[in-house]
Structure 1
Amino acid sequence: MERGRGRWGSVSRGLIPLLGLHTVSEYSRLDRKPPITAALLAANTIIYLRPKFIHPFLPTIDQVWFNPHLILKYTDLKRFFLSPFFHINESHLVYNMLSLLWKGIQLEISMGSAEFASMVATLVAMSQGVTLLLAKSLLLFFDYERPYYNEYSVGFSGVLFAMKVIVNAQSDEYTSVHGLMVPTRYAAWAELVLIQMFVPGVSFLGHLGGILAGLLYLRLKVSYSGLNPVRQFLRSFSHALSLPLRLVKSLFRNRPRITGRGTAGGRIARNTLLTWRCDACTFDNSGRLNVCEMCGTGRTGDAPSSPGPTSEIRDLSLEELRRRRIQRFARS
């Protein structure tokens, strides 16, 4: 998250096209394209660019700044839920989206799109809620009103810090955070301190709230053994959307080839009164016939008569079968 007001809508410096090229390059190398990550990238970018066809429907950044005082005083849920998807300037957007691209691809591929979407929705609410709780606590116990309680901030970085905690939770390796080697599982904490030291105008409380939200999510995921209701809803929704496609596929599903009154290549019918299979050419004939419709060979087994023994029929050559078939259809 970044703090401040009045800097929104800076002149483009060409970073968004580079973000687009990098995203296309990353996705082109993947066998499975994570759709939720792509949707989040597109949503954040479109909100920042504000194209004309959706401009009338989008609130301005002044209407969605995350401000603990205004949220609690007016129960302003719009600020609570929408502020993560707004960014102050192009560099703010691109930096966050590059981070989302890397973390989102890893998490969505590993856990599946439905669970990933559920996780993102949960982290948005949890990171915002923890930040709000921290700001209110600092006001009540330390009288920190101006630095945090009346702070204005926007951006997706709180959710990204939570995702970073989840990505690195099980790692025992070391990683470099702005040139400093730290255990990977503590990389989010190191980044929190370093960004606060060297990057002006960032929201310390928003980033801290994201880290705590990530830790809380991991704890709840371990202790909660029931089904995730958000994930179940998303799975049901995607299942409903796929119904028309599955219906069309079922209409064009491969069926056994029908020839005359029998089938070629199909299974033997359970009811032998309906069909019987020729011993010579394996064609399935109607149960009403005593002579094979394909090669003219007589029916064996429960048939009333047969032109010759089974061994003789099996010794027939392919040319003989074809000749008998031609004679059969010539007589009919």
Structure 2
Amino acid sequence: MIRGRNRRVGGGNGMLYMLALHAASQFMQLPRKPPVTATLILANTIVHLRPGVLDLVLPTVQEVCLNPYRVLKDWDARRLLLSAFYHVDDAHLVYNMISLLWKGVQLEGSMGSKKFAGMVGVLLGLSHGLVVVSAKFLYSFADNPGPMYSECAVGFSAVLFALKMVLNWNSPDYTNVYGVLIPSRYAAWAELFFIQMFVPGTSFLGHLCGVVAGLIYINGSFLLSGTRAPVGWVKKVLQRPISLLLWPFTRFGNSSRRGRTYGRGLARGATGVWRCLVCTYDNRSTSHECDMCGAPRGSAREHSVGETEPSAPPWPEEDFDASPPTIEDLRRARLARFNNRAR
């Protein structure tokens, strides 16, 4: 999500267009094209290019950008939805759509199109709603909250940060974020701070609310089912940034008790996680059904992440004698072996 400015199309960046064409070709080679992901990418692209008569019909960036002040003063709720489909320039659009393609192919392929579409709608409304509420809160209590309350932001980034949280929540792997190897679960937090440091003009509040929206979506089922107290859930959410800051110290302090890391995987699997064989999603050991596809844990044979699979096929049943050999069988086998050597 970037602060709204005048839309810029073009610019002669050939490498940017080659990157977009490469991503499109990779998408066309997929055996199954996710329809919801493709529709979202197409809608964002059409709104950005504004071909033909759409240039006269579609509102401008200034009319739909996410401005908390305008949303609350004019009750302009359309800004909560339409601002996600507008982008500042071609680079903003291409990078966001490539990120959406990567996340959408994995999530929609495992969840199904209907559930994925519902999740995107919930995350879109939740993340942008949090932007408005938090900006109003800062305006009321902070010393200098003016820029956050009056800024005008556009882009699909808040939803992408929420999708990243959902995608990597139960992953035991590690991710390389700008050269730093961190657990995939905390990749969105790290990317949040790195983008704010190295990419000027981005909306930190929008990205942060996207991460929080992802956390709320992940843990919302526990609140609704009553299996976890709200106080404990809020405490756990607030502890995530602290755990991220303390992670380098705890990681090296506990290195003797953990498996070594190679690339993005683990030399030894994580404990307390079971994998659903319906959608291959990694779930907590306390869950009785898959958090992604809803399949019961006992509906199919699943295995814990880190279990070693047999390296050779099982012994044929017809060649396997379940009864142990008798002493007489062993004596005859020794005699036969000695006789063969004597010959």
Does 2:51 align with 1:51?
yes
Match of 1:181, SS state, is strand
Alignment-mate amino acid for residue 36 of structure 1: V
TM-score (norm 2): 0.62
Match of 2:182, SS state, is strand
Shift of 1:136: 0.9
Superposed CA deviations along residues 191-242 of structure 1, whole A, max 9, x for unmatched, are: 00011011100000000000000000111134446xxxxxxxxxxxxxxxxx
Does 2:46 align with 1:42?
no
1:184-203 alignment, distance < 5 Å = 184-203=184-203
Aligned to 2:70: 70
Would you say the 8 A contact 2:4–2:65 is kept in 1? no
- Residues 1:41 and 1:7: Cα distance change in structure 2 (over 3 Å): closer
Alignment-mate amino acid for residue 170 of structure 2: Q
Would you say the 8 A contact 2:7–2:61 is kept in 1? no
TM-score (norm 1): 0.64
Aligned to 1:249: none
Would you say the 8 A contact 1:158–1:209 is kept in 2? yes
Alignment-mate amino acid for residue 69 of structure 2: H
Q: Distance in 2 between matches of 1:157 and 1:120?
A: 12
Q: Distance in 2 between matches of 1:139 and 1:123?
A: 24
Q: Distance in 2 between matches of 1:46 and 1:19?
A: 18
Match of 2:36, SS state, is helix
Aligned to 1:207: 207
Shift of 1:32: 1.6
Aligned to 1:22: 22
Aligned to 1:255: none
> Relative to structure 2, which stretch is displaced further, 77-86 or 208-217?
77-86
Aligned to 1:116: 116
- Residues 1:218 and 1:116: Cα distance change in structure 2 (over 3 Å): same
% identical equivalent positions? 52
Q: Distance in 1 between matches of 2:79 and 2:8?
A: 16
Shift of 1:62: 1.1
The runs of 5 or more residues in structure 1 that have no matched partner are 226-332
Aligned to 1:183: 183
Q: Distance in 2 between matches of 1:104 and 1:163?
A: 8
Would you say the 8 A contact 1:68–1:135 is kept in 2? yes
- Residues 1:143 and 1:72: Cα distance change in structure 2 (over 3 Å): farther
Shift of 1:60: 0.7
Aligned length: 226
Superposed CA deviations along residues 106-149 of structure 1, whole A, max 9, x for unmatched, are: 00000000000101111110000111111111111114332200
Does 2:109 align with 1:100?
no
Q: Distance in 1 between matches of 2:57 and 2:28?
A: 33
Match of 1:218, SS state, is helix
Does 2:83 align with 1:83?
yes
Would you say the 8 A contact 1:15–1:94 is kept in 2? no
Would you say the 8 A contact 2:4–2:62 is kept in 1? no
- Residues 1:35 and 1:188: Cα distance change in structure 2 (over 3 Å): same
Match of 1:176, SS state, is strand
- Residues 1:180 and 1:82: Cα distance change in structure 2 (over 3 Å): same
- CA RMSD in angstroms comes to 1.9
Would you say the 8 A contact 1:15–1:90 is kept in 2? no
1:136-151 alignment, distance < 5 Å = 136-151=136-151
